[in-house]
Amino acid sequence: MLTKEKMLLVDDDEGIRKALALFFGSRNCHLRTFENASQALNAIEKEPYDIIICEQSLPDMNGLKFFEILNNRCCKAIKILITLYGNNSTINQIHTKGIDDLLTKPFSGEEVEAAMIRLINSRPCKNGSNNIKR
């Protein structure tokens, strides 16, 4: 379960924000949603997050630039980029920007959850705790 993880989603698509908020809310998970990068950056300054998911095409900033800013602030969160087209150029760029995974639209809540669990389990354990089991 992801109930202990603080998650943040940035996507200008209200339908995606609502769908994922409902999906993770039904699992008692903490997911905050924002429609643009500026709002999300302000929230991240006030409170750390364990997992950050961001759409590549936002009205105020490219998702790659958003993650670049986070990396410059030494953000240790798991970072997932959402894109409509997962081409080779995008895949190569995510590795240079410190992004952990790429989700291509359309996707389900279950696919997002599985990606998060896989990424958490691939990281070294924090404070000797066990990895998440599905």
Q: pLDDT of 40-80, one tens digit each? A: 999 999 999 999 999 999 999 999 999 999 988 877 899 99
Question: Residue 134: is its pLDDT beyond 50?
Answer: no
Number of H helices, E strands in the chain: 5, 5
In 1-134, beta strands by DSSP E:
6-10, 30-34, 51-55, 78-83, 101-104
Do 98 and 78 form a contact (C-beta atoms < 8 A)? no
Domain 6-122: CATH architecture, name and number where available: 3-Layer(aba) Sandwich (3.40)
- Which residue intervals of the chain are DSSP H helices? 14-25, 37-46, 63-72, 88-96, 109-122
Q: How many CB atoms lie within 10 A of CB 44?
A: 21
